[in-house]
């Protein structure tokens, strides 16, 4: 499924760099693979809008019948505008404002994934004012290590997310007082860019233990949501453009003990949209340093912050030159006034010169959505390749 590089070079003639290029052919192939694998077990997939909330991308994903996983009131409204059903929309987040909770109540979303006792009490109060019953799931902190970057791990006791095991009794007492709340499920999410899938096996075993506690307390739950986090291959996107959804869902089928009629839900972001996006940028200058040569490009950490924020690796290619003779090393940096504005150190590229076009691969997830206007830069445009 490799993209014809000439296509990008043609687009550069029409659109100013830097821009995001979204491969809709790869997106639909990924959605097909995910849906087929999930349907085998009747698992329900929610798309995590935070990964990429471009309208064309959203309406393509919603057309597959996926639900939406939202973390703000604005994401709920955007999901619904782009064809996601409120009946299949979940609202997570440690800091939901009253205004956002009201959006969830007014649109009658499927569930609020609640992260604290205080939050449950506020949702109850607001639902009571509207004469509504809010469906909630408890986001449990499973204390499972996802073995990923410390900034994107979420399921450890030291993280701010979720309700801890020692709070369960108090939660049940609170729920007894909350007449406008219906507990319908449990929610878990252990982190992002998880490539060691044994973390999911550990999660399943922990979910089984936690379910047991609720069964013993005679609480029946309609659904279990095991979150997202499935990682992509940032190193070899052409070899592995689509993640192994079959293998991923099979882990849950093998290790998670669902109760009769209980649904299993997922919230995938990166695995659906990560590889289909590339950041296309132009080389402005080649600057020879004492120890390093710099390729200074016209995109910066303002367009793609992941390398600066998490030391994340993105494959970098000079698409103006044949990759066969890549034998020079460059630090590929942007124009922003920050030393962390660097896309890669000692990147092996063919001899590169001013005007060359560079693709920063696997930028479909947490790319454009995290762009900002530091140094008064423009938010980059998106160009779509329909295939």
Ligand X SMILES: N[C@@H](CCCC[NH3+])C(=O)O
Residue 57 partner contact from ligand PLP, ligand X, none using kind-dependent CB cut-offs of 5 to 8 Å: none
In angstroms, the CA 369 to CA 93 distance is 17
Please state the closest distance from residue 139 (CB atom) to ligand X, in A.
Answer: 12
Query: What are φ and ψ of residue 166, in 5° steps?
Result: -70, -5
SS3 76: helix
Q: Does 206 bind ligand PLP (CB under 6 A)?
A: no
Nearer to ligand PLP, 139 or 377 (CB): 139
Give the residue nearest to ligand PLP (CB): 269
Give the total of residues touching ligand PLP (CB under 6 A). 17
C-alpha angle 283/287/288, rounded to 5°? Answer: 140
Contact 54, 275 (CB under 8 A): no
Considering the rule CB under 6 A, would residue 233 count as an interface residue with ligand PLP? no
Q: Are 114 and 139 in contact (CB under 8 A)?
A: yes
Rounded-to-integer distance, Cα 49 and Cα 76, Å: 9
Residues forming the site for ligand X (CB under 6 A): 50, 152, 192-193, 306, 310, 366
Q: Which of 114, 337, 342, 362 is catalytic?
A: 337
315 binds ligand PLP (CB under 6 A): no
Cα(30)–Cα(105) distance, rounded to whole angstroms? Answer: 32
Residue 371 contacts ligand PLP per CB under 6 A: no
Among ligand X, ligand PLP, none, partner that 138 touches (CB below 5 to 8 angstroms by kind): none
Identify the residue among 44, 96, 270, 315 touching ligand PLP (CB under 6 A).
Answer: 270
Whose Cβ is closer to ligand X: residue 77's or residue 309's? 309
User: Which partner from the list ligand X, ligand PLP, none does 306 bind, CB cut-off 5 to 8 Å by kind?
Assistant: ligand X
Residue 287 CB contacts under 8 Å (≥ 6 apart), including other chains: 293, 294, 296
CB 188 within 8 A of CB 194: no
Residue 207 binds ligand PLP (CB under 6 A): no
Q: With b meaning 16 or more CB within 10 Å and e meaning fewer, what string describes 32-53?
A: ebbeebbeeeebbbbbbbbbbb
Burial 311-321 (b: 16+ CB within 10 A, else e): ebebbbbbbbb
48 binds ligand PLP per the rule CB under 6 A: yes
From the CB of 152, what's the least distance to ligand X, in Å?
5
Judge whether 204 counts as a catalytic residue.
no
Q: Is 51 a residue that touches ligand PLP (CB under 6 A)?
A: yes
Residue-by-residue DSSP string for 104-126: HHHTT-SEEEE--HHHHHHHHHH
**223 near ligand PLP (CB under 6 A):** no
- Which of ligand X, ligand PLP, none interacts with 206 (beta carbon under 5 to 8 A by kind)? none
The residues annotated as belonging to the active site are 337
Give the footprint of ligand PLP on this chain (CB under 6 A): 48, 51, 69, 92, 154, 189, 192, 227-230, 267-271, 365
């Amino acid at each position: 499924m490799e993209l014809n590089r000439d296509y990008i070079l043609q687009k550069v003639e029409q659109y100013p760099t830097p821009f995001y290029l979204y491969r809709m052919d790869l997106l639909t192939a990924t959605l097909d693979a995910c849906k087929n694998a999930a349907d085998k077990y009747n698992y329900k997939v929610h798309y995590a809008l935070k990964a990429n909330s471009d309208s064309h991308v959203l309406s393509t994903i919603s057309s597959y019948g996926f639900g939406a996983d939202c973390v703000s009131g604005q994401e709920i409204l955007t999901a619904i505008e782009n064809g996601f059903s409120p009946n299949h929309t979940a609202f997570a987040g440690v800091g939901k404002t009253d205004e956002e909770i009201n959006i969830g109540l007014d649109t009658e979303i499927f569930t609020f994934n609640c992260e604290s006792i205080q939050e449950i009490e506020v949702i109850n109060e607001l639902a009571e004012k509207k004469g509504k019953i809010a469906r909630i799931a408890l986001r449990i902190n499973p204390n499972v290590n996802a073995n990923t970057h410390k900034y994107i791990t979420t399921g450890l006791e030291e993280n701010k997310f979720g309700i801890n095991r020692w709070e369960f009794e108090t939660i049940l007492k609170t729920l007894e007082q909350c007449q406008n709340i219906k507990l319908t499920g449990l929610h878990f999410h252990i982190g992002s860019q998880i490539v060691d899938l044994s973390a999911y096996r550990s999660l399943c075993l922990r979910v089984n233990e936690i379910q047991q506690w609720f069964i013993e307390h005679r609480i029946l739950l309609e659904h279990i949501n095991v979150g997202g986090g499935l990682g992509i291959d940032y190193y070899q996107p052409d070899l592995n453009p689509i993640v192994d959804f079959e293998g991923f869902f099979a882990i849950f089928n093998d290790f998670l003990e669902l109760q009769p009629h209980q649904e299993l839900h997922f919230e995938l972001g990166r695995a659906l949209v990560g590889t289909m996006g590339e950041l296309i940028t132009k080389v402005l200058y080649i600057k020879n340093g004492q120890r390093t040569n710099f390729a200074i490009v016209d995109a910066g950490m303002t367009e793609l912050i992941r390398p600066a924020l998490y030391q994340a690796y993105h494959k970098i290619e000079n698409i103006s030159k044949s990759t066969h003779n890549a034998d020079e090393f460059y630090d590929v940096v942007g124009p922003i006034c920050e030393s962390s504005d660097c896309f890669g150190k000692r990147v092996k590229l063919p001899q590169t010169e001013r005007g060359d076009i560079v693709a920063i691969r696997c930028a479909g997830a947490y790319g454009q959505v995290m762009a900002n206007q530091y140094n008064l830069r423009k938010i980059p445009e998106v160009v779509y390749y329909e295939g």
